[in-house]
Structure formats: structure tokens, C-alpha cells
Amino acid sequence: MNLDDFVDLIERPDGSVRRDAEERRERLTVAPGALGRLDELGEWLSAAQGQVPVRPVEQPRVVLFAGDHGVAHLDVSGRPAGSAATLVRAALDGVSPIGVLARRFGVPLRVVDMSLDCDPELLPAEITRHRVRRGSGRLDIADALTEDEAEQAFRAGMAVADEEADAGTDLVVLGDISVGGTTAAGTLIAALCGTDASVVTGRGGAHIDDLAWMRKCAAIRDGLRRARPVIGDQLKLLATVGGADLTAMTGFLLQSAVRRTPVILDGVVSAACALVAQRVAFRAPDWWQAGQASGEPAQEKALDRMSLVPLLDHGVTVGEGTGALLALPLVQAAAALLAELPERD
């Protein structure tokens, strides 16, 4: 597949509509600047929708790509290798942070299994139908995916984006459920930003100790040696060190931009996928907002490279889309205010 096609397919949100939204904001009864960043959010959403006044966000959806990473067998995570399926089940049962918040906010939750290390019969068929393989390869010594698997995962992400757009989803909260995913994300970000492993290695959502951090740093270092020779081929880069879930998320982000669907990014994994997607199509980041600062150094570097400023910074590191979902009411509030506040006489 030719990823260069996305350069022509992805356009920026409508600039003339954004200017109209800014002019309308100047006429509202609330003084300009009094709503702070909510003004910017509302105008961004208006441009994404292509209309003034902005429509309220009425059909948001949480989409989580799930997978296990072979590198987790090096004890680089605070969770056991191959245990992501347990996290998926907790989310589906509503007993994890994302499950609780999605139920409380009334936002549908969708999990897409790309490479969980479990029997597919343990989960609903709707969740496992896009699975590429059982667990991704160990990125420090072997490719995470074959090239065919990478293309399959990428196309699966595109298909999910099309399904959401066709279903009327007007904003996506994007996250991951993975074990070892932050190691893959750190490797991608270090490769694309030209930094050393120690600069991007964080503690992950499970807050690993110093020994695990050193093992993670070594794994990213070894992964970087394998990633750098293929840095010019984004799909091959994802196959080498990304894994099925991150590859699918990258395809999802690019196709969502094609379909003009705005996305709120969660933590370091979604930021890594967004950074890869930016390398494919430079206009794509205009369709995204960074939901939260997770405290991961790799996320900070990726967001800085894309000029995305997090909406929230509450120290939420649990992952699974939780921080991004917490930012959703802020975006909804911005849309509601700019849509419903009256203009001055």
C-alpha cells in the first residue's frame, strides 16, 4: 500500500469556517478571552465540522486498540506479560477507570483486539474480528510484525475509522489497552525525534521500579538500533518496532483525518502513533487534540514535535483512554458555549 496517498487525501479543517467562528465569537455576550482555551476548542471543532455555529458533540465514542507486546517478557512493565486481555475484560465489565468513566459519562466504549495473547474465544467476536496475531514480536531482537501483518493491521485501523464515521461518531476518544505498549511507543518516538533511549523512557502506567526502568531503557535502546535503518518507511517502521495495535492506531488516525473525524489523544501510545501519522501526512495533526499530559517523557517530546498542547494535566497515568475521556467534557463544554451563547444586540 502507498501511504503517500494520505498527503493528498487529508485536508486541514476549513480555515474560512474557523475565521467565521472567530468573528462570531467576537459578537457573543461573553467578553472575548473570558472563556480562555474553550474559545480555541470551539473554533477548532467548528472548523472540523465545517459549520458555524458549531454543533454540540452528541455522539462521541471511546475506541481502544488492544494488544500484547513480546518485549513485556523482559519485565519492562508493571503488569505480567500477556495479561492485556485481563485489562480488556475489566474495561468491558465496567470495573476499570475507563469502564467506570465511560458508563458515568454515557459514552459508548469500543475495544478492538489486534494482538492480545489469549484465545479469541474468551472475548466477544466483535472485539476479536480484526485480530492480526497472538502477541507482537519482541522488538529488541525481532520484528514486531511481518510486513503483511503490518499492512493488515493498518488496514484494520482504517476500517474501524470508516465504521465509526459511517455510524455518525462525531468525536473519538482514542486510547490503548496494552502490556509493553509504552516500550514500543518510546522506541518509535525516540527514532522519529532522533533522541537516545534514556530521554524517552518513562515509568509506564503501572509505575515500574528502577530496575524495570533500566530494563525498559535497554529494550528501547536495542529497538532503536533496529528502527533507525527503516525510519524512512513508516509502515516498515511500525512492523519493526510498533506492533499490531500501534500500527492499527496509526491507520485509524490517518483515515479519521480523511473522514474529517476529530480525535482526542490519550497518552504516550496514541502520541507515538500520531507522530508516525504526522510523518505520513503533515496536515493530519490539525484533526487531533491532546487530551492530557501523562507525565511520560516520550509523550511530551511527541506532542511538542506536533505542536499539540494537552488539555489537562492531572497526573493521570493509568492509560486506557482515561485521561483523554476526562478531557471530553471540556470539548463538549466549548462546543455548547459557542453554539448556545447569544450574540450582542
- pLDDT tens digits along 249-296: 999 999 999 999 999 999 999 999 999 999 999 999 999 999 999 989
Domains present along the chain, CATH in parentheses: 5-55+335-340 (1.10.1610), 60-327 (3.40.50.10210)
Q: Are 138 and 61 in contact (CB under 8 A)?
A: no
The 3-state DSSP class for residue 190 equals helix
pLDDT tier, 61 (very low <50, low <70, confident <90, very high otherwise):
very high
Q: How much is the pLDDT for 78?
A: 86
Is residue 43 annotated as part of the catalytic site, yes or no? no
Buried b (16+ CB within 10 A) or exposed e, 297-310: bbbbbbbebbebeb
Residues 145, 332: Cα–Cα separation, whole Å: 38
List 300, 320, 340, 343, catalytic entry: 320
What pLDDT was estimated at residue 205?
64
pLDDT-based confidence at residue 206 (cuts at 50, 70, 90) = low
